[in-house]
Amino acid sequence: MIRTVVFDLDGTLVNSAPDLQAAANRMLGDLGHGPIELETVIGFIGNGVEMLVRRCLRHVGQDPQDLGRALALFQGYYARDLTTLTRPYPGVLTLLETLREAGLVLGLCTNKPEKPARDLCQSLDIDKFFQVILGGDTLAVRKPDPAPLRHVVAALGGTAPETLYVGDSETDYLTTRRAGIRFAYFEGGYQRTPIAGFKPDLKVAEMGDLARRILQPTT
């Protein structure tokens, strides 16, 4: 029986890559570099904004050791256009509404910094579904360390055996294995390479199918 559901954000609930790419390319342009393609940026998502910027810099051949200016540029551009191109994946709004109406408790655990995560959810009107929103800078550690996910579950009043975490990446998978929490893998997200020893508890190609899988687990 699942009573608590915690979600990743980027690549799971929302397709945010186009706005992340736009901010990254504006940053790179200010630093004297050409743009990078969307698919390349997608491969850089999942380990927090600092790592995303580092990977962009490495990709264009710039030393990422001096990260300060690049990070400030990226964050400034991204804050101004959080949801210009970002949209929830098909079926997400219905999924969240259905789970809430069924009495499940919902939370968000993302490696995106907490403020842009909250601002993005508010802009897309999905913040109302989550009792807890935790970002990559909320604690001293981020996923795949299990502490953020465990923190969200505890704050929701849940327990590991009754919790499902929904994500799209190797980082999400490793987090759940270390936290002892079941994992539902969204196949339409940003993971582009095979995951070693991958054995998720659920796989869904469309978010609209997840509510049925959670609420009617034998079907």
pLDDT at 217 over 80: no
Residue 10 labeled ligand binder: yes
Nearest alpha carbon to residue 85 among 16, 188, 38: 16
Task: Tell me the average pLDDT of the chain.
Answer: 96
pTM: 0.95
Please check whether residues 74 and 129 belong to one and the same domain: no
Q: What is the pLDDT of residue 219?
A: 47
145 pLDDT band, cuts 50/70/90, is very high
**Mean pLDDT of the 133-146 span:** 97
pLDDT at 32 over 60: yes
d(CA 134, CA 189): 20
pLDDT at 218 over 90: no
In the annotation, is 66 catalytic? no
- 219 vs 14: which has the higher pLDDT: 14
**Mean pLDDT of the 151-159 span:** 98
**Mean pLDDT of the 157-166 span:** 98
30: domain range? 17-80
Please check whether residues 116 and 179 belong to one and the same domain: yes
d(CA 217, CA 3): 13
Q: What is the pLDDT of residue 63?
A: 85
Q: Using one digit for the tens of pLDDT, what is the confidence trace for 40-91? A: 999 999 999 999 999 999 999 998 777 999 999 999 999 999 999 999 999 9
Q: What is the pLDDT of residue 216?
A: 85
Please check whether residues 97 and 121 belong to one and the same domain: yes
Q: What is the pLDDT of residue 22?
A: 98
Quickly tell me which residue has 């582009």 as its tokens: 192
Where among 40, 59, 80 does a domain terminate? 80
Please check whether residues 200 and 114 belong to one and the same domain: yes
pLDDT at 189 over 90: yes
| 180 three-class SS | coil
CATH of the domain at 203: 3.40.50.1000
| 94 three-class SS | helix
pLDDT at 19 over 80: yes
H helices present in 31-110, as ranges: 38-42, 49-59, 68-80, 92-101
Q: What is the pLDDT of residue 108?
A: 98
Q: Which of 8, 125, 145, 209 is catalytic?
A: 8
d(CA 212, CA 208): 8
Where among 55, 80, 105 does a domain terminate? 80
Please check whether residues 21 and 93 belong to one and the same domain: no
Lowest mean pLDDT among 160-164, 194-198, 207-211, 213-217: 213-217
Q: What is the pLDDT of residue 66?
A: 75
Please check whether residues 69 and 104 belong to one and the same domain: no
| Positive or negative torsion for Cα 166, 170, 173, 179 | negative
Residue 19 labeled ligand binder: no
Residue 8 labeled ligand binder: yes
